[in-house]
Amino acid sequence: MSLDLIVTNATLPDGRTGQDIAVANGRITAIEPGITSEAAQRIDAGGQLVAPPFVDCHFHMDATLSLGLPRLNQSGTLLEGIALWGELKPTLTHEAVIERALRYCDLAVSQGLLAVRSHVDICDDRLLAVEALLEVKAKVKPYLDLQLVAFPQDGYYRSPTAASNLERALDMGVDVVGGIPHFERTMEDGTASVKALCAIAAKRGLMIDLHCDESDDPHSRHIETLAAETHRLGLGRRAAGSHLTSMHSMDSYYVSKLLPLILESGMFAIANPLINITLQGRHDTYPKRRGLMRIPEMRALGIPVALGQDCVMDPWYGLGGADMLDVAHMAVHAVPMTSREAIRWAFEAVTTVPAAVMGLEDYGLAKGCHADFVILQAADTIEAVRIRPTRLFVVRRGKVVSQTPARRSTLELPGRPASLDPASYAPKAAG
Ligand SMILES: [Zn+2]
């Protein structure tokens, strides 16, 4: 059989080196050393890292690239961000939402980010953003998997038409049930919203992913209800709790009871370190809380944790660049978790774990999987987190969809080398 593509001399995320990757008809047909078959295209990875594509399982594509519209977030808080989005929402147009989303997807592809779960606000009776992003989802399908979550930004109960709009959005083809229990008027309403939304997911056989306890209030404990309902209804890996930042401020005894409940439920947890290191702790003087879920303790117990980006240049966050390695890098610092093992895990938390959150089929570097991968200018996954390297080639279904020249600096320093490759600094002794 003639191949479409061979990538030679790859280092894989699991540490195997000198591997060739054979591709035919959009699928990986073999990964082993010394593949000699003919192929229409050959790429020499030069011993550098070839990884499955990055996956962002928590994003807001309806708001992205809107920074400054209609004004900037002065306090830097979640609540001002929600208010600001409320000012922007009535002025949104179908065309503008589509144009921003498509531009964002271009950037994502160039960064090797080929799958995104985006929440889409359904608290607009026009469901304008829903219609726009469903159109975007179909448009980008050849190069990016976009999964949409029906997200009642202004509260499932607090917003008068959210409940009916959410059902309408799901009827229109939105994939996942969303919610925001900590933004409801009372704790009781928050609890009731979690129960109602889990029931909808169970009835429709859908996944559920709630913005949950994105708060510094240690008494914001909706994750307890989400875990219990996930367990009771058997939602398991179809359920995810996003943010869970109040866990940072909770009493440790309570957390010692909570984490086993989350584990028992089988649900995923999604931390968004870029956003929550900046949104949380804003009411603190000093010391200032970091406001991230307890990732090391959750990992130690076996709870699957993914990392999401959440925002890029929108009412909540003015920075970001569709670089999931920025997210992994921030997690390592903000948690903090600096062991070699933990940094390797951070890479998985922006690739394989979020792929499982989204339920992506045939994802990964293995025979039979989709031929989707990224060649990075880095020696291994720890180096990738350290230097957030150039994505040399991005491949989707066996075709190169983005290329970026390797970064090399020319030096003019007396008695020193004439050029520098940032990837050549990989530490030999660190293991
Ligand atoms: Zn979010």
Q: How far is the CA of 243 from the centre of ligand 1 (A)?
A: 8
Q: Residue 428: what pLDDT?
A: 85
Residue 252 corresponds to which tokens in the numbers above?
């440790």
Q: Which residues have their alpha-adjacent CB atom under 5 A from ion ligand 1?
A: 310
Q: How far is the CA of 241 from the centre of ligand 1 (A)?
A: 11
Q: Is 363 exposed, middle or buried (0-12, 13-18, 19+ CB in 10 A)?
A: buried
Active site residues: 214
Residue identified by tokens 């660049």 is 321
Report residue 323: phi and psi, to 5°.
-105, 105
Give the alpha-carbon dihedral of 284, 289, 291, 294, to 10 degrees. Answer: -150
Q: Residue 56: what pLDDT?
A: 98
pTM of the model: 0.98
Residues in the chain: 431
DSSP β-bridge partners for residue 177: 150, 208
Q: How far is the CA of 302 from the centre of ligand 1 (A)?
A: 24
Q: How far is the CA of 35 from the centre of ligand 1 (A)?
A: 44
Q: Residue 217: what pLDDT?
A: 97
Q: Is 106 exposed, middle or buried (0-12, 13-18, 19+ CB in 10 A)?
A: middle
- Which residue ranges of the chain lie beneath pLDDT 50? none
Q: How far is the CA of 235 from the centre of ligand 1 (A)?
A: 21
Residue identified by tokens 């890292």 is 49
Q: Residue 431: what pLDDT?
A: 66
Distance CA 4, CA 353 (A): 29
